[in-house]
Amino acid sequence: MSTVGSSPNFLHIVPASTTLLESHAVNVAGITDDYDTDIRQGNPGYGGTGTAPDVGADEFEGVAQGDVQPPAIVYSLLGSGAPSTSRTFTATIVDATGVATTAGVRPRVYFKKSTDAHDATGWKYVEATGSGDSPFNFTIDYTMLNGGSVSIGDTIQYFVVAQDTRPTPNVGIFQGAFAAGPTSVALTRTSSFFTASTASVSELPPIFFTASRKRSTTSPPAGISST
């Protein structure tokens, strides 16, 4: 409420604020009150409704803000590879609330050839394999790409997205960027990556191994909006 030392509101938090400060600290042995002697939650004489002490100088009556962080996604970047039918990799994805793991909202890898359009005609995706939680295994299926296969010298762009289990999900991305915050891993042109910079998407280095493959065509996977 004030940062002026002489003010009676100095360092006090606005009452009833919805904030991550509320009930997001832990008790420390020997510390039972705040800077102006209000008793910290969990100590004898506490009269508030918090479920843990508050963060900062002031113990106050606020509303605890829920999880606002998207899942944290980490994996080792893929190196050059042969033009086989697929590439697999494993990502560690964690979240304070939990990572959504059911089909439809399960973590996804989006991928395309660097020469394909930065829209629904170029980007394809697959969900993490299986049904379990982290670590998640992904298979970049080359047969889903336009043309049905890759050739020597192709560059494949890819990134992983995951959402948490909050009622309004927080959506995370690794090796990419959202132009606007999406509400689901089902990315659409208006909500997310279709307006993001391709430069922010990681790339596989050129492929060197020689192999001949019969080409085939496949339809884009269901779920990618073309609007």
Footprint on this chain of Ca ion (rule: CB under 5 A)? 50, 54, 67, 69, 95, 97, 164, 170
Write the CB contacts of 192 (distance below 8 Å, at least 6 apart in sequence): 171, 178, 179, 180, 181, 182
Locus of tokens 């904030």: 19
* Min CB(164)–Ca ion separation in Å: 4
Residue nearest to Ca ion (CB): 50
Measured between alpha carbons, how far is 73 from 67 in angstroms, rounded to an integer? Answer: 16
* Min CB(102)–Ca ion separation in Å: 16
* Min CB(146)–Ca ion separation in Å: 34
* Min CB(98)–Ca ion separation in Å: 8
Q: Which is nearer to Ca ion, 49 or 131 (by Cβ)?
A: 49
End-to-end CA distance of the chain: 46
* Min CB(22)–Ca ion separation in Å: 5
Q: Which is nearer to Ca ion, 50 or 122 (by Cβ)?
A: 50
Q: Which is nearer to Ca ion, 51 or 218 (by Cβ)?
A: 51
What are 140's two structure tokens?
């970049």
Q: Look at strands 63-64 and 18-19 and give their pairing.
A: parallel
CA 96 to chain centre: 12
Q: Which is nearer to Ca ion, 95 or 127 (by Cβ)?
A: 95
What are 204's two structure tokens?
């596989």
Q: Which is nearer to Ca ion, 99 or 140 (by Cβ)?
A: 99
Measured between alpha carbons, how far is 119 from 194 in angstroms, rounded to an integer? Answer: 5
What are 15's two structure tokens?
């009452």
